[in-house]
Amino acid sequence: MYAIVEIAGKQYRVEKDARLKVPLLHHEVGEKVEFDRVLLISDDGGVKIGAPVVEGAKVSAEVLEHGREKKIIVFKKKRRKGYRRKKGHRQHFTRIKIENISVG
């Protein structure tokens, strides 16, 4: 059984016991989180597609950790003008573990 769920504006394919790295969620480590924006559910009985979401479907997860990604370098240059800018940033993320997918 798997589901397509929307988390923080992005879509993820999730299964039970899967570990995902998603954009930063403002929850404490060890806290349970529920996502109700389930767009699709597939199981042995077939596929349920939402319009736009599947009614009564929920995905529950546990927050494992928070962290920061590797540094992204943003370099801009205009040739023959002497213009060079180098900037970078590190994106925050949250690692979650999917515990249950319920159809309701």
User: 9-45, pLDDT tens digit by residue?
Assistant: 999 999 999 999 999 999 999 999 999 999 999 998 8
Number of domains in the chain: 1
Condensed to tens digits (0 to 9), the pLDDT of residues 77-100 reads 999 999 999 999 999 999 999 999
What's the pTM?
A: 0.84
CB atoms within 10 A of CB 94: 22
The arithmetic mean of pLDDT across residues 43-55, rounded, is: 92
Tell me, what's the pLDDT at 45? Answer: 85
Tell me, what's the pLDDT at 104? Answer: 77
- What DSSP state is assigned to residue 45? T
Query: What is the DSSP code string of 54-66?
Result: -TT-EEEEEEEEE
Tell me, what's the pLDDT at 44? Answer: 87
Residue 80, domain extent: 2-102
